[in-house]
Structure 1
Amino acid sequence: MSKLFEPVSGLLTVPYEPNESSELRENPPRFTWMPAKPDEDRYMLQVSASERFETDQAETIGPIPYNFYTPSHVYEPGIYYWRYALAATGAAVQSEWSQVRTFTVPAHIPETPLPAPQTRYAETSAAHPRLWLDGQRVEALRGRIREDAATCGFDVFFEKSVRPWMERELICEPERYPDNKRVAKLWRRMYMDCQETLYAIRHLSVAGVLLEDAHIVEQAKRWLLHVISWDPQGTTSRDYNDEAAFRIAQAVAWGYDWLHGFLSEEERAAVRANLLVRTEQVAFHVIERSRIHRVPYDSHAVRSLSSVLVPACIAMLHEEPEAREWLDYTLEYYACLYSPWGGQDGGWAEGPMYWTTGLAYLIDAFNLIRQYVGIDLYKRPFFTSTGDFPLYVHSPDTVRASFGDQSTLGEPPSLKTAYNIRQFAGLTGNGLYQWYYEQVKERDKDADSKFYNYGWWDFRFDDLLYAHDYPAVEPLSPEPGRIEPVKWFRDVGWVAFHRRMDDPNEHIQLIVKSSPYGSISHSHGDQNGFLLHAYGEPIAIDSGYYVAHGSTMHRNWRRQTISKNNLLIDGKGQYAGADKVLCKEAYGVVEEVSSKPGFASVRMNATEAYRETVPYLKQFVREVYWLDDTYAVIVDAVDLEQPGRVSWLMHTLHPMELKGQTFRTIGAKAEMDGRFVYASSGDLMLRQHDQFTDVDPSEYEGLANQWHLMAETKEAKSHRIVTLLVPMKKGEDKFVSYFIDDQDHGIHLYFTNEDGITRMIAVNKAY
């Protein structure tokens, strides 16, 4: 037996799980371990109720092609042991067994086994179509449409999403960038051309088959055969433009599947060959280059499973051997490692916009898998709770009030976010999710005019599929008592405080973040940050503009702490550069959340987020108190190994009135009084400006100014800053009175609101 290589799991790699500290939330457990060989690493897995692994008590599974596995059966509650080894040809063990790890299976947790590869596709048909509907369901829907053209919204789909493509000129194959260097404007044009090509092929194919209309089918074939004439190694290849490649591969998959019976053998072979090449490009990148089964934090690679591998492999299953291999990998990834961006609470570390894009494609893929393969991946705990994430951190009436990269920055939640959450309403029957969908749809009247809508999805096609597959759900307004006033997403380190979400004119949303993901991927250097939206208007905002990913606005402002409601230490923020390891190391921790009537709080620690940039930082702990549902108190504790200055930052859409230790922002609907009620180093120096520092001015030319408050301390080794924030409707002019008692080694601050209710907050002194 050769010695087994067992490397320590790193920040960016998959962990060894389950283990004795794991809390299993689904049965069976998901097994993951670090790879033991650089290539061709196949494994044997043993699970036993005995740590001695006696033959009659041990289950031996393998060979397993990758370093992750989901069993095909559940386990009885109890304590178990597991180990793995490298596998030789066949089912023999080639190496020594690994370290033995243990786990406990509790009773009454969701049962989510994954059918074994040998039997996984036993009930699948070799006939076409198979993406969304099979032949029997095509005939059933066809009959309903003949009786009523409005069935499932088909009439709207036909007029808005089919008819425009029947006479449209074919879109030309995108040209290369000048000198093959990406240009944002040309990238977007290429992107849109490929998205519209997907619309043309998919919608014409589906409508032509459902209506048995030879003219529409012929138009669909015209588009499909035109697209496969494009060079699959050219401008729409994965390596040249992955977003273009995703769309064209999906277009060819839908065309091949739905037009299968209308293509000659020669045409089928040509289309399938093109699809195979395009799918192989994506599979090779995901499995061999990005290796998301080892290092899962690649947003595009993970999304390409849904957007390409699922539809393409289903379309080619039983016809191309590789399709089964890639589909197995995809199903096993979804069953075991998904989602790398969140956990059981349903959070998404990259923020609500990337929740939207990631989940949109995943929803499409899961629906295809459930209907064709018969595997319901929605039963996993993440999917039963993830609808809560947009509900609590991206509420329908809010603007600039959530964290992370957002192509919709400055606008309310996108319509696709609402369509996603409606899917979870249909799955769970949750009326709050349906309420969210209806609120956003009522506001977003011109969805097709916006790139982040029309450039990504066709809502009429979404409506057709959803109305056919899922029941209507009654909306349920989030009145007090129906939602949690404080929602903690432990998996991603986000906490949301809400007052009257059901009424935009009375709604206050305060959210904070200190995430274990740090600034990796589409996350930013904003650990311990906060955002405040009140009475229909953003108050403390996520500042900047979404110009383009990789722009100077994105790299030098949006990702950096300078743009956040946070702290700089000697002018330096958290690490948010290009090194993924340092980004993941720049993490924060939500240490405690408490909630009782009138008094809610969160304590966060972002010390490690500054480790690379401020190595002499000993600690940065921020406590946020949300009191009597009307005002906030923020307590910042910074300790340094050498004297330094702290800059307290806040960003608004309007110029602020600065006076002494106070700042006031006045908007169209709301205003806020801010006061530094205590600073251990003495009065802070307040100033504001309306510039985006280190950003190319051409990127924000013509865009409205934003205002940036910087309150700077005197130099000291320790700092304690207490800030009072009182949001109010415009013209209310209310205030919260306070006094300080500092007779002993601590400081006690007492705050009294307009109803005469007094709350006390204790702060340790700085020495």
Structure 2
Amino acid sequence: MLHKKTFMLLLFVITFQIYGQQPATIKLTAETLHGRFREWAYPANGVTINTNAPALLWPGTNGEKKIMLQGDIGDDFTIDPKIHHVVYKVMLASDPDFKQNLISSEEQEWAMYPLHQPLKSGKWYWKYGYRQKSSQNWVWSPSYDFIVNPAAVNNPVSPTAATVLQRVSGQHPRLWNMNKIGNDFYLKNLSNPEAKKFIAYAEKLMLEPLPEEKPRRYIDTTGKSELQKKINIEAMYHGFGDMVGNPVRNLCIAYQLTKDKRFILDAKRRALNIANMNPDGLATRDDFTGGAILEAVAWFYDAGYEFLSSDEKTFLKSVIKLRGERIYRHLPNRFEININDNHIWQITLRNLAIGAVATIDEVPEANKWLTYIYEVWSARFPILSNNDGGWHEGSGYFKVNFRSFIYLSQLLGDLSGVDYFQLPWMQNLPYFLLYTHPSAASCMAMGDMWEKEPNIAKIDASFADALTYRINNPFLNTYVAAIKKDYPSYFTGTDDLLLYRLINYKSERNLPESSFNELPKSRWFKDVGIAAMHENLSDSSKNLSSYFFSCPIGSSGHGHASQNAFTINYKGKTIFGSTGYYSNFSDRHNLLDYRTSRAYSTILADSLGQKIGENGYGWTPRFITGKHIQYVLGDATKAYGPITNEFWLDRFQKINVVPNEANGYGERNITLYRRHYLQLEDGYIVIYDELEAEKPVKWTTQFQVPYYTIESKETASSKQQNFTVKTDVGLVNTSVFANTDLKMQVHDKFAEAAVNWNKVTGADGKVFEYKNQWHAGITSTPSKKMRFLTVIKIDGKAAEVIKPVALKNGNIQLNFGSWELSAQLNNDEAPMLNIKNEKLNSAFNYGASSIKLGKKTYQHQTSGSSMLVETINNKPMLQEVIDELPDVAKYDSKTK
């Protein structure tokens, strides 16, 4: 839900078109939509919310000023100790004087208050106060107001944290409700073939020697900087915690499946071994490895409680407390106001939750751990989206969250009675998976680390399969069935989601399937600014896919400066996609190429790219899906400018690099960048760009090819440039047109060399070879305004060059295949794009022109809108769209 987000100032201006009664275009002028940390209270400004129990959110303070986040857990920074010296209170009432239906909170150490009681419909008022723990002087905020939608008054409401804690306390084992369902878990899995295979695996596991505190691999650090040496050491121990901790968990599960004491006694031997590992040693001192040790020790403490002596219990509790507090100190009055502290959401929140549940009332700190975890989960999950099921960081790091998505939803659902798999985001998640990463095909090719495993990985397969246990969606079932057919080896052996399947096991499962042919060819994930388009979603070997990105969250976390960029996949292969390689979150190649707009098929202004940070945002105002034409409009106007985000400036400083114009960053005062992107039947892509700046700019439209080569082609006109991508699935021919002279550069060099100094390995475990990749840039002469028209033909049989039928005063006409196109490239004229196919009875128009299709003429209801007309089953189907704000802009702005 929207209140689970952090945002900054939003102002928008609606531009009314002279010919229409309704606004057609919206210009966002906010410096950012989703800030790195929360800057104002939500809900406010009289917004109507669709829940009867919102989470109240506000900016954190250290008692003197708003909290500015120095870094994320795992970074080298010192937490401001003052953030732990503050407490908050909340007052909520149905009148501005706070006398009617008054709700007053207890004092708390965090800047969030998820309501666990229903509010009546109508207007509500609230405010928060804070004081330093050393003072009794409360400082109160202004009063905020919101309206509860009457349609939401009967929605179920989650229980309080106190109720959840009461449900946890009791005899061991507590995790996964085993003290209640343990016998049923044992009985129902006696006949489970997967459980039998796992037990056989656990038998072999007991034969493995105890692990030692030593690197998993060695990396030569000779000649490296101190920062690089630190990162190399982390890489040498990467995965160490799971390597030594997972056997403890697995043997505990084997014991619960069999009641065979051999398993739990061997788990004890291993748990005591890793519990004795040095918490300050290289092997287990970082947040990931330390968290894994915490989780494993807590697993055994809970499952093997009756096999521990009093001294052993005391020792394990001390280990859990020490490692748990190291995570928890990063949380209150910090984590909840952060847009996304990646490591915590990915892994360590789950580690701490398991430690907390295992030791409630036995480690006093565990009660506050679980209280905070439950409250932040109630207030903020899902992060990085609203309800659309999307994720803006790309597939590479999306999968790092899968275990926590599954197990925290299961664990906290067990304790609260809330079925988190029924949240709107979870219900839409299957569509995000199947549209953005079809089986037997490459992914969206964007974001950190996508290139390591571009195809479906085992965790992708097991995650999608896990969702079928709790989400009733026949298209999800079809998706998983396809993955099982394409990747049968993924469903043998064991994996990290096994326990979840065992808990939810049924001997007979009804998994009805529905054909993807029943789905629209495209889907819009508006909250994260992604549109996914397909020609044949049912068959990757015949499919043409487009992925378009313009994200309201900006280039946050593992996301990139890729606003208004696109990826094109054909027959499962990535043709156009981002280039470069992920060695580290912020090395030279990452900050000067891989993470930047230089690596994406988007626009540069005087060779300068988009800002890195949440304030380098875009959005997708329009979307249409039809039978023969798919369309999305992206707006990246606010993505450009110098880097001002303190988090990222610190990253540059640490590697002694300045984000200046020489390195691809700077101000060019871009005032407009709207990109119309269409995928047409028969393998054509059309892109129409509208660009404006305060001063003349050399505009460059880029094309990035990560796997194939680019060859430039001759052209008869200086206003047209052509190139061909040579692939193993056919030739891909591209032509770019403008109303000004164009120059093209084709090369296979990075702006900053890619060096695998951190010895990153690929999916096969071998050190990744960083090869050069191909890039094409087509640049205009300097101008304040510019329009590009791009036509791409996929699977060409020859290196075909499209020639204009006519070009007069910037009005260009093209014919390709059975399509006819006309566009206005003259910046002094109103923008216009018209595409028609009489054979397919389909036509599209952007602007004010009417559409003539067959014997009929169709007019825009609003000038400047985008309109699609298709004749289906002898009936004309018309779709007309104007700009639509993302939900963050509708509901969580600083002012109305």
Please tell me the TM-score bracket, short chain as reference: 0.7 to 0.9
Residue equivalent to 1:274: 319
Structure 1 residue aligned with 2:502, among 464, 469, 472? 464
Task: Give secondary structure in 1 for the equivalent of 2:555.
Answer: coil
Cα contact 1:153–1:467 (8 A) shared by 2: no
Residue 728 in structure 1 maps to residue 786 in structure 2: no
The 5 A counterparts of 1:42-53 are 42-53=87-98
Residue equivalent to 2:328: 283
Q: What is the Cα deviation at residue 228 of structure 1?
A: 1.1
- Count of aligned positions: 734
Residue equivalent to 1:526: 562
Unaligned runs of 5+ in 2: 1-6, 10-31, 64-82, 643-665, 716-720, 758-766, 801-815, 849-896
Residue equivalent to 1:586: 616
The 5 A counterparts of 1:676-695 are 676=736, 678-682=737-741, 684-695=742-753
Structure 1 residue aligned with 2:355, among 303, 312, 317? 312
Deviations 1:397-451 (Å, cap 9, x if unpaired)?
Answer: 33152421135545313222233233333222012222222323433455599xx
Residue 117 in structure 1 maps to residue 161 in structure 2: yes
Cα contact 1:346–1:388 (8 A) shared by 2: yes
Give 1:433's aligned amino acid. Answer: L
Structure 2 residue aligned with 1:364, among 402, 407, 421? 407
Residue equivalent to 1:564: 600
Give 1:692's aligned amino acid. Answer: F
Pair 702,740 (structure 1): closer, same or farther in 2 beyond 3 Å:
same
Pair 727,477 (structure 1): closer, same or farther in 2 beyond 3 Å:
farther
Structure 1 residue aligned with 2:732, among 667, 672, 675? 672
Structure 2: how far apart are the matches of 1:714 and 1:133? 67
Structure 2: how far apart are the matches of 1:73 and 1:426? 29
Q: What is the Cα deviation at residue 467 of structure 1?
A: 2.6
Residue 300 in structure 1 maps to residue 343 in structure 2: yes
Structure 1 residue aligned with 2:200, among 146, 152, 159? 159
Cα contact 1:307–1:362 (8 A) shared by 2: no
Structure 2: how far apart are the matches of 1:741 and 1:516? 28
Pair 552,169 (structure 1): closer, same or farther in 2 beyond 3 Å:
farther
Residue 719 in structure 1 maps to residue 786 in structure 2: yes
Q: What is the Cα deviation at residue 189 of structure 1?
A: 4.0
Pair 702,48 (structure 1): closer, same or farther in 2 beyond 3 Å:
closer
Structure 2: how far apart are the matches of 1:74 and 1:565? 48
Residue equivalent to 1:31: 56
Residue equivalent to 2:437: 394
Q: What is the Cα deviation at residue 549 of structure 1?
A: 3.6
Residue 12 in structure 1 maps to residue 53 in structure 2: no
Cα contact 2:746–2:774 (8 A) shared by 1: yes
Return the structure number with greater relative CO, CA threshold 8 A, min gap 6. 2
Pair 636,356 (structure 1): closer, same or farther in 2 beyond 3 Å:
same
Task: Give secondary structure in 2 for the equivalent of 1:648.
Answer: strand
Q: What is the Cα deviation at residue 265 of structure 1?
A: 1.2
Deviations 1:621-677 (Å, cap 9, x if unpaired)?
Answer: 21112334742211112212222212211122222342222222232224422212x
The 5 A counterparts of 1:107-186 are 107-108=151-152, 111-144=155-188, 148=191, 151=192, 153-160=194-201, 162-174=202-214, 182=229, 186=233
Structure 2: how far apart are the matches of 1:556 and 1:736? 42
Q: What is the Cα deviation at residue 190 of structure 1?
A: 1.6
Pair 297,608 (structure 1): closer, same or farther in 2 beyond 3 Å:
same
Structure 2: how far apart are the matches of 1:361 and 1:670? 41
Residue equivalent to 2:710: 656
Cα contact 1:400–1:409 (8 A) shared by 2: no
Task: Give secondary structure in 2 for the equivalent of 1:568.
Answer: strand
Give 1:605's aligned amino acid. Answer: D
- Please give the TM-score of this superposition, normalised by the length of structure 2: 0.75
Q: What is the Cα deviation at residue 723 of structure 1?
A: 0.4
Give 1:474's aligned amino acid. Answer: L
Task: Give secondary structure in 1 for the equivalent of 2:580.
Answer: coil
Task: Give secondary structure in 2 for the equivalent of 1:487.
Answer: strand
Residue equivalent to 1:631: 684
Pair 640,172 (structure 1): closer, same or farther in 2 beyond 3 Å:
same
Residue 264 in structure 1 maps to residue 309 in structure 2: yes
Structure 2: how far apart are the matches of 1:760 and 1:125? 62
Structure 1: how far apart are the matches of 2:680 and 2:427? 31
Q: What is the Cα deviation at residue 304 of structure 1?
A: 4.1
The 5 A counterparts of 1:78-477 are 78-86=122-130, 94-96=138-140, 98-108=142-152, 111-144=155-188, 148=191, 151=192, 153-160=194-201, 162-174=202-214, 182=229, 186-237=233-284, 240-287=285-332, 291-407=334-450, 409=452, 411-445=454-488, 458=496, 460-461=498-499, 463-467=501-505, 472-474=509-511, 476-477=513-514
Cα contact 1:726–1:736 (8 A) shared by 2: no
Residue equivalent to 1:610: 640
Structure 2 residue aligned with 1:642, among 686, 695, 704? 695
Pair 96,284 (structure 1): closer, same or farther in 2 beyond 3 Å:
closer
Deviations 1:600-629 (Å, cap 9, x if unpaired)?
Answer: 422222122112223332222211123347
Overall identity of the aligned pairs, in % = 21
Cα contact 2:756–2:768 (8 A) shared by 1: yes
Pair 408,440 (structure 1): closer, same or farther in 2 beyond 3 Å:
farther
Task: Give secondary structure in 2 for the equivalent of 1:427.
Answer: coil
Q: What is the Cα deviation at residue 23 of structure 1?
A: 4.7
Q: What is the Cα deviation at residue 548 of structure 1?
A: 4.1
Deviations 1:367-416 (Å, cap 9, x if unpaired)?
Answer: 12223454433443332323332222222233152421135545313222
Q: What is the Cα deviation at residue 119 of structure 1?
A: 2.6
Pair 729,158 (structure 1): closer, same or farther in 2 beyond 3 Å:
farther
Task: Give secondary structure in 2 for the equivalent of 1:122.
Answer: helix
Structure 2: how far apart are the matches of 1:377 and 1:471? 24
Give 1:139's aligned amino acid. Answer: N
Pair 749,135 (structure 1): closer, same or farther in 2 beyond 3 Å:
closer
Give 1:247's aligned amino acid. Answer: A
Cα contact 1:493–1:590 (8 A) shared by 2: yes
Residue equivalent to 2:28: none
Cα contact 1:198–1:247 (8 A) shared by 2: yes
Q: What is the Cα deviation at residue 504 of structure 1?
A: 1.2
Structure 2 residue aligned with 1:601, among 631, 649, 655? 631
Structure 2: how far apart are the matches of 1:615 and 1:106? 47
Structure 1 residue aligned with 2:829, among 728, 738, 745? 745
Q: What is the Cα deviation at residue 474 of structure 1?
A: 1.7
Structure 2: how far apart are the matches of 1:476 and 1:59? 47
Structure 2: how far apart are the matches of 1:156 and 1:31? 47
Residue equivalent to 2:808: none
Once superposed, what is the RMSD of the aligned Cα atoms? 3.4
Give 2:509's aligned amino acid. Answer: A
Q: What is the Cα deviation at residue 762 of structure 1?
A: 5.1
Deviations 1:674-713 (Å, cap 9, x if unpaired)?
Answer: 212x31222x222322223312445698455532112222
Give 2:724's aligned amino acid. Answer: R
Deviations 1:143-186 (Å, cap 9, x if unpaired)?
Answer: 455x53xx1611121233x2332111111124699789645564
Cα contact 2:118–2:153 (8 A) shared by 1: no
Cα contact 1:673–1:735 (8 A) shared by 2: no
Structure 2: how far apart are the matches of 1:198 and 1:112? 38
Give 2:386's aligned amino acid. Answer: G
Residue equivalent to 2:552: 516
Cα contact 1:563–1:651 (8 A) shared by 2: yes
Give 2:750's aligned amino acid. Answer: F
Give 2:703's aligned amino acid. Answer: M
Q: What is the Cα deviation at residue 221 of structure 1?
A: 1.4
Cα contact 1:85–1:93 (8 A) shared by 2: no
